Structure 1
């Protein structure tokens, strides 16, 4: 096949790929997760950049929590508690975008086991 015959086919395929990319929405955001002790937190939760989740993965009787900051109130640390027991997950309400968070396993009478702070 000559170069002149291949060029229209190439342009057609390139155009079709571009059109497909514009019509099909981008995939949902991939959640970032961290673990501190027996607690695991992730955001975005439920494919929403304004939600965070925390799962209690330990059987120590202490609650798990996610500490986080939102873009609309970057100076205010918020806490999402999960006091429902091991294997359960708590979700925050919807709000402005989560900008950083950490997971903590609370320890009565001792320092909490926390992950480092991360951005989603």
Structure 2
């Protein structure tokens, strides 16, 4: 009898966890990307870019270093389109900017604006398609 109650409790708990994950899944981060600038140590990234939304159709860029550099993400939508979009985050450390919704984001990179020098950008993150 106790075994049955334990199994029932465990099943209910697991079901609740699955339900919670599916509810939160609409805002989960995908394709996380951190960019480490040359002026920074390997422990202090400057830009964090990721896809969000249940259809992976929102680009997010977060400034994760308290310095004077703005950050941005470059991305495209709806493979094989090569049109590029840019989303800036200029409010500083700890802030995140989100693009509007649109087609699925297929490629993206995180960048740090270096004001008086060339911007520093990560490599392109590419979804499951070839580049040509």
Does 72-81 or 109-118 show the bigger shift?
Answer: 72-81
Structure 1 gaps of 5+ residues are 1-23
Q: CA deviation at 1:47?
A: 3.4
From 67, 89, 106, the counterpart of 2:74? 67
Q: Tell me the distance in 1 between the aligned counterparts of 2:32 and 2:118.
A: 21
Q: CA RMSD in A?
A: 2.3
User: SS in structure 1 opposite 2:92?
Assistant: coil
**Is 1:33 matched up with 2:32?**
yes
Q: Which has the higher contact order (CA 8 A, sep 6+)?
A: 1
TM-score normalized with structure 2 length:
0.63
Structure 2 gaps of 5+ residues are 1-18, 38-45, 128-132
Number of residue pairs matched by the alignment: 95
TM-score normalized with structure 1 length:
0.69
**Is 1:83 matched up with 2:90?**
yes
